Amino acid sequence: MMAGTAESGYAAALRELRGAQKTAKGVSLYSRYVNRPAGRVLAAAAYRIGLTPNQVTLISGALSFAGVAALALARPSWWLAAAVWAALFAGFALDSADGQLARLRKESSPAGEWLDHVVDAAKITALHAAVLVSFHRFFELPGPGWLLVPLGFQFAALLIFTGGLLADKLKPRGTAAGASAQPAQPLSRLRAVALLPVDYGVFCAVFLLLGSETVFLAAYTALFAVHALFLVAFMAKWFRELNAIRPA
């Protein structure tokens, strides 16, 4: 009877979460079809066992930093590739779960949002720093200049993260003229595909290539180049949008 009640509680939480998802606008296919559904399952489980959103955030950070530590300390191999990816994948799914759990428990708070963003910024910084350490300790790089790639990637990733976060916070809510009169725009699948290269989950998948130094270096560098291009495009877009806002 108790097992049935637990299952019923989990199923009810999962059903409620399915109906309380954030908009998919501006979200890549990976986040829409992989990370958010995985986070939904984890949020329902966390709800069932009584975890708070902040506890889920901290577990997410712990898993992510376990992957970061392994990357920095262990010699690259296919076993390490699977372990690092698994830790990062689970950490990212839980990063989605904490917000979903907060909405389910009706416990969204500025402190919880702050903690979530601080953990996100820390793991982005630490992950690229761990790549730099791994490059220096274990990789046979073509030249010392390749050590600048993780530093450049870290710079681009952090600016995309903070720039997007600030742009979202600085845009007035529901004040655009005629916004309510505009029909809802259909979700763009092309945009969702185009955003895949700058999705954190896709970036985490690159670590599955750690068993081959040459392939990982090529894939990591290619993603850095794409992030640099997106950084320029995003910054121009966000500045243009914010510059169009007129004081009330």
Q: What is the pLDDT along the chain (248 residues), one digit of tens a residue?
A: 344 444 557 777 777 777 666 655 667 889 888 999 999 999 999 999 999 999 999 999 999 999 999 999 999 999 999 999 999 999 999 999 999 999 888 888 999 999 999 999 999 999 999 999 999 999 999 999 999 999 999 999 999 999 999 999 998 875 443 344 344 445 577 888 888 999 999 999 999 999 999 999 999 999 999 999 999 999 999 999 999 998 76
Sequential DSSP letters for 123-151:
HHHHHHHHHHHHHHHH---SSGGGGHHHH
CA separation for the pair 15, 18 (Å, rounded):
5
Sequential DSSP letters for 168-189:
HHHSPSS-STTGGGSPPPPP-H
pLDDT at 21: 62
Count of beta carbons in the 10 Å neighbourhood of residue 65: 18
pLDDT at 26: 66
Query: Is the CA virtual torsion 23, 25, 28, 29 positive or negative?
Result: positive
Residue 237: name the closest of 171, 184, 185, 190 by CA. Answer: 171
* 232 close to 158: Cβ distance less than 8 angstroms: no
3-class state of residue 108 by DSSP? coil
* 108 close to 52: Cβ distance less than 8 angstroms: no
